[in-house]
């Protein structure tokens, strides 16, 4: 079956702009979670959506937001971009909530903020 | 301070050597997972350990969950260049919904 698909794979933005990243989970998976990965901070949990509801949220400012649609596809948005937002953004899908089973990751969206 | 601390952070060894990676916390986890991430890709699950004291083997990889469910280790026997990658432990606390990743161990196996 198809894996987790993230788009776009690469993007470059400038400070102050906003960006929207998309994640299509594995068919049948209802949980989508988002992570930020940087060399200095490692993998940091952003938020999880399960059946269109945000189930929990990590310690990130309100500029980071997300949503999940009825087909389980998810988007995350970062507004007023800062240089420190440059990172690999990973999405993971799972059949059940993330604290109960295996996560399947996409290849990520690499964001560079200039 | 990260909830899950891994050591060592970097490891470079010769092919055929053995190694152990540690994942430690002061918190109790309901389960712990180990993932491997290769450059340009997302992490891929290697194993999930659930019971305190549990040991699981995956070919040359041996995973152990601490008795108190606060730590875990990954032991690789006779490392091969294909084992090169970033190893991440991850888990859910015994209470709450959040999921935490460890600080990561970057392994390089030299042919």
Nearest to B43 among A58, A100, A105 (CB): A105
B44 vs A: CB within 8 A: yes
- Put simply, the answer to whether B42 touches A92 (Cβ < 8 Å) is yes
What pLDDT is attached to residue A86? 97
Cβ neighbors of A28 (< 8 A, separation 6 or more) are: A95
Please provide the distance, in angstroms rounded to a whole number, between the alpha carbons at the two ends of chain A. 37
Mutant choice from B30, B31, B42 vs A, greatest count of A C-beta within 10 A: B42
Question: Band of the pLDDT at A56, cuts 50, 70, 90?
Answer: confident
The overall average pLDDT reported for chain A is 93
Distance between first and last Cα of chain B: 35
Chain B partners within 8 Å of A92 (Cβ):
42
Please, are residues A44 and A35 in contact by the beta-carbon 8 Å criterion? yes
Nearest-CA neighbor of B66 among B29, B36, B20, B13?
B29
For residue A51, pLDDT beyond 60:
yes
pLDDT surpasses 60 at A1? no
The pLDDT value recorded for residue A105 is: 94
Contacts of residue B103 in chain A, CB cutoff 8 Å? 42
Binding-face residues of B in 70-99 toward A, CB within 8 A? 88, 90, 92-93, 96-99
Confidence band for B1, pLDDT divided at 50, 70 and 90: low
C-alpha gyration radius of chain B: 13
Question: pLDDT digits over A70-86, tens only?
Answer: 999 999 999 999 999 99
Task: Kindly list the distances between the CA atom of residue B102 and the CA atoms of A68, B31, B109, in Å, as whole numbers in the listed order.
Answer: 26, 13, 21
Q: How confident is the model at residue A68 (pLDDT cuts 50, 70, 90)?
A: very high
**B45 in contact with A at a CB cutoff of 8 Å?**
yes
pLDDT-based confidence at residue A14 (cuts at 50, 70, 90): very high
Of A59, A49, A87, residue with least CA distance to B3? A59
The whole-number pLDDT of residue B95 equals 76
- Tell me if A12 sits within 8 A of A59, measured CB to CB: no
- Residue B98 above 80 pLDDT? no
Distance to chain B for A55, nearest Cα, Å = 8
Q: How close is the nearest chain B Cα to the Cα of A54, in Å?
A: 11
B38 vs A: CB within 8 A: no
Report the pLDDT value the prediction gives residue B97, as an integer from 0 to 100.
66
Strand-pairing partners, residue B75, are: B20, B62
For the stretch A57-66, pLDDT in tens is 888 999 999 9
**pLDDT tens digit sequence for B12-70:** 999 999 999 999 999 999 889 999 999 888 999 999 999 999 999 999 999 999 999 99
DSSP structure string for A47-109 = EEEETTEEEEE-S--TTEEEEE-TTS-EEEEE-S--GGG-EEEEEEEESS-GGGS--EE---E
Check whether A98 has a pLDDT greater than 90: no
The CA distance from B82 to B42, in Å, is: 16
Testing the interface with B: which of A6, A38, A42 to mutate, by most B Cβ within 10 A? A42
């Amino acid at each position: 079956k198809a894996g987790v698909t993230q788009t776009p794979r690469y993007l470059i933005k400038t400070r102050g702009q906003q960006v929207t990243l998309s994640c299509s989970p594995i068919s049948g998976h209802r949980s989508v979670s988002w992570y930020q990965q940087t060399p200095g901070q490692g993998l940091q949990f952003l938020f999880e959506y399960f059946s269109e509801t945000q189930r929990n949220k990590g310690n990130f400012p309100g500029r980071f937001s997300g949503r999940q649609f009825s087909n389980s596809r998810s988007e995350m948005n970062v507004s007023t971009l800062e240089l420190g937002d440059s990172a690999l953004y990973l999405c993971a899908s799972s059949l059940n909530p993330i604290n109960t089973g295996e996560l399947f990751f996409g290849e990520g969206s690499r964001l560079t903020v200039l | 301070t990260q909830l899950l601390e891994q050591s060592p952070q970097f490891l470079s060894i010769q092919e055929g050597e053995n190694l152990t990676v540690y994942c430690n916390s002061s918190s109790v986890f309901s389960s712990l997972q180990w993932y491997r991430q290769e450059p340009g890709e997302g992490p891929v699950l290697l194993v999930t350990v659930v019971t305190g004291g549990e040991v699981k083997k995956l070919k040359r990889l041996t995973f152990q969950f601490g008795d108190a469910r606060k730590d875990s280790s990954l032991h690789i026997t006779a490392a091969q260049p294909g084992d090169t990658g970033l190893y991440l432990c991850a888990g859910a606390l015994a209470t709450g919904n959040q999921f935490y990743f460890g600080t990561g161990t970057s392994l390089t196996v030299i042919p």
